[in-house]
Amino acid sequence: MTNPVLRSVKPGSSRRSFLKRGAFAAGAATMTSSLFEPGLTAFGREGREEKSGKLTRGDAALLRFAAAAEILETDFWVQYNELGGVQDSEVPGGTGNVPYTNALSMLDTDMAQYIHDNTDDEFTHQNFLNAYLVSKGADPVNLDKFRTLPGSSATGSSGILRLTNLMELTIDTSWWTRYRSDSGNPDFGDTFPQAVPTLAVGKHTAIPRTDADTSDPTFLQAIANTAGFHFPTIEQGGTTLYPAMAQRATSVEVLRILISIGPTETMHFQTWSDKAGNAPPLTNVVDKVTGVSVTFPDFSHAGEELKANLIMPEPCPFISKDLPICSVIRPTETKGIAMGVVKFLTNMGLFNGQSREFFAVLADLAEDADEARRGQDHD
């Protein structure tokens, strides 16, 4: 179900009208990094990027939405790294949770390193995109005022407040069958079955909420398996987002940014989709806190549509069903892509507990990005 705040944003409303309504009257947090000018607010003064003449409004909106997405992504990857990754000078915070890390290692012995490296990548994406916006006289994105959600209190967590919630996830795993299908493409309206149907209903935790969640090895493995499927679910979203937005870019340099960051998301996606297939089979594991149960199939003995080692994207219809099938990223339809991503993440439960203002800000950013047109500004 779509969040009611998203439904309340009317077509044609804009970030500028939103600001005029005083949505940021309480004062967005200023950027604290030395990269940003003193006093520069989250989305700043109306039209600053337009007046600079260095970025079109559309290009600035595309990069701002990408920056917001990367900030959110970084927030939850930090949570995963604190508990199940490698804590070091590159990705500080947390002290690790040994039982959870061991459960993740059942999917691959290098999981901790992969989590660390993915987290590091997302930090660089958010920092680069915001710095680039500032270098062009445009306003960066700062979501710090929305870091209000409590995270895990299990051993290893830093205990800081978060933007995202990893403890109430509803995970759409249809990407698994989508990339194994040679006859369907969501760009043509095709739909695909869930690889793990029980993850698509109820609210599942992908991290230990407290140390009590680590006391039952079977339940802890279910938590780790849930994380193992959440990783590629998120990264396939980025794999689609960047090429879809790139079609709207005016500047060749902005196009270069989008098509250079996008493939790193695809590398993450393929890595994690490979590891998800190693999730140990589990049957009807019940969360004693919520009563929700989950079952993970044995993908090593599954049929063609579910087989674990089929991680290369099958060729599928593309552009026109009159053309030969082609191995491509799908979907890449650009219409409504940013709002689609916001709805996808919201329906996942990633923002459960966030404020109405948070949802409205994301919707406004998405609307501005979706209004961008190649070679045009928007007022």
Are the C-beta atoms of 273 and 264 separated by less than 8 Å? no
Asked if pLDDT for residue 16 goes beyond 60, the answer is: no
Instruction: Say how far residue 249 (Cα) sits from the centre of its chain.
Output: 21
Annotate 15-74 with DSSP letters as a single string: HHHHHHTTTTTT-PPPP-STTS-TT--SS-STTHHHHHTSS-HHHHHHHHHHHHHHHHHH
d(CA 81, CA 129): 22
Are the C-beta atoms of 129 and 25 separated by less than 8 Å? no
Query: Hey, what long-range contacts does 190-197 have (CB within 8 A, 24 or more apart)?
Result: 193/305, 195/229, 195/297, 195/299, 195/306, 196/171, 196/229, 196/294, 196/295, 196/296, 196/297, 197/295
* Reported pTM: 0.88
- Matching residue, tokens 């507990």: 353
Q: How confident is the model at residue 52 (pLDDT cuts 50, 70, 90)?
A: low
Asked if pLDDT for residue 299 goes beyond 50, the answer is: yes
> Which residue spans within 281-328 are E strands per DSSP?
282-286, 293-296
Asked if pLDDT for residue 35 goes beyond 50, the answer is: no
Beta bridge partners, 162, equal: 149
Domain boundaries defined on the chain? 4-371
d(CA 291, CA 191): 29
φ/ψ (deg, to 5) at 9: -80, 115
Report the SS3 class of residue 282. strand
pLDDT in tens, 219-268: 999 999 999 999 999 999 999 999 999 999 999 999 999 999 999 999 99
Torsion sign (Cα): 169, 174, 175, 176: positive
Closest to 376 in 3D by CA, of 59, 129, 133, 49: 59
Higher pLDDT, 96 or 3: 96
Q: How confident is the model at residue 278 (pLDDT cuts 50, 70, 90)?
A: very high
pLDDT given for residue 375 in this prediction = 82
Question: Greatest CA span in the chain, whole angstroms?
Answer: 60
> Which distant-in-sequence residues (6+ apart) come within 8 Å of 140 by Cβ?
31, 36, 40, 44, 64, 67, 129, 130, 131, 133, 134
Average pLDDT, the chain: 89
Three-state secondary structure along 142-167? CCHHHCCECCCCCCCCCCCCECCCCC
pLDDT in tens, 106-139: 999 999 999 999 999 999 999 999 999 999 999 9
Q: How confident is the model at residue 301 (pLDDT cuts 50, 70, 90)?
A: confident
